[in-house]
Amino acid sequence: MKYSDWNYWFWIKRFKKGRSLERWALRHLHQRDYLNLLAERIIDANRLNGRPCFVQINSIWIDGTPQALAIARNNEVKCELADLLYIVEEFNHKGGRICKKGMLIQGKNTVHPRKIDSGNSTKRERGLFEKLDRTKELALKAGVNKSSKAIGTYLLDSSVREGLSDCARFLLMPKNRCWCFDLLLQSSPFHITWPKRETSNEMVLGQGLSESILEMYNSTGLGKEIISPQKCEWSRMVLDLENKYKGVEMKGYDRQKRHYSSKFFSFKVNERFSQEPQVEADYYGSKDEITNFDTLPYISIIKVSVQYPEQDEPNKRIN
């Protein structure tokens, strides 16, 4: 997958237009070819384990980010919440959801794959991700203006003492080609990672984006479970971010489509599926027509949906 990622990255760099490289690259994580690569990776993992499934990935691109107002160790911090929300859902053979996890992603272009740049916006975002006081409310708005719509306020649980390490990661992407020459065999151009220490710009050796999504899917600790919003403030925040968005006109990026979907990929054994997938997911299909901008989410979303036949459903229950 790393080689495919690097080929894709060089294509992104080659055809980049006037906007920032960071936003340009984040946009292209929604393209159908890249969604297909992620879906194929999940199919390959299930084939290795002999577990039949259907996989489809849907995305919606929003040219904007929700803004956060919070307290980080007694200091007020105002910054983006994140650039992107990844969601992984699993469904039974009837299409009922049996598991859902989410992870916030903050993208950054860097000179080195294991060092994050130290600009002012990065410092504020690191303050939120690493030092958020979880005994104080986190407030979200749809934009930077005073008149921007309030999304909600949230008092996150104490699963970690501070910060958002249980539900967020940084995505480092190259500023130039030096990554390729130095670390082609060791690092993906889409590097999911976390700071080694809060006083340093060094990052831990993480993994590629596709490997991270696969880890979320395998329930090995990356990402945070989304359950009933009445029981969990994180879950309520994710549902609020998914639900509504005050629309903006897509003036840049060649008036890029908002909706993208991968193909349906499947791995079948002995025809265990008696019918085509019946996934009752709240997803954004490529054929949907946007008639009410108030129904768009507040953040760009990539949603992975996996469905199993009855004999191969994981041993999970709805919360």
pLDDT at 188: 84
Q: What is the DSSP letter of 310?
A: G
Left if phi > 0, otherwise alpha if psi is -120 to 50, otherwise beta: which for 285? beta
Provide the residue-wise pLDDT of the chain in tens; the chain has 319 residues: 555 788 888 888 888 776 688 888 898 898 888 888 889 889 898 888 888 888 989 988 887 899 999 999 999 999 999 999 999 999 888 888 889 999 999 999 988 888 998 889 999 999 999 999 999 999 999 988 888 999 999 999 988 999 999 999 999 998 876 565 455 556 788 999 999 999 999 999 888 999 999 999 887 779 999 999 999 999 999 999 997 433 333 333 343 445 556 666 665 444 443 444 444 444 444 444 444 556 788 999 999 999 888 776 765 434 4
The pTM of the full predicted model, rounded to 2 decimals, is 0.85
SS3 of 182-231: the string is HHCCCCCCCEEECECCCCCCEECCCEEHHHHHHHHHCCCCCCEECCCCCC
pLDDT at 196: 95
pLDDT at 274: 41
Distance, in Å, from the CA atom of 62 to the CA atom of 58, rounded to the nearest integer, reads 14
pLDDT at 179: 60
pLDDT at 105: 97
Strand, helix or coil for residue 35:
helix
Q: Please choose, from the candidates 309, 310, 311, 307, the residue with its C-alpha nearest in 3D space to the C-alpha of residue 97.
A: 307
Q: How far is CA 79 from the centre of its chain?
A: 18
Would the CA dihedral through 6, 12, 13, 15 be positive or negative? positive
pLDDT at 314: 67
Strand, helix or coil for residue 3:
helix
User: Can you list the positions of beta strands (E) in 175-318?
Assistant: 191-193, 207-208, 224-225, 259-261, 265-267, 300-307
- How many C-beta neighbours within 10 Å does residue 143 have? 15
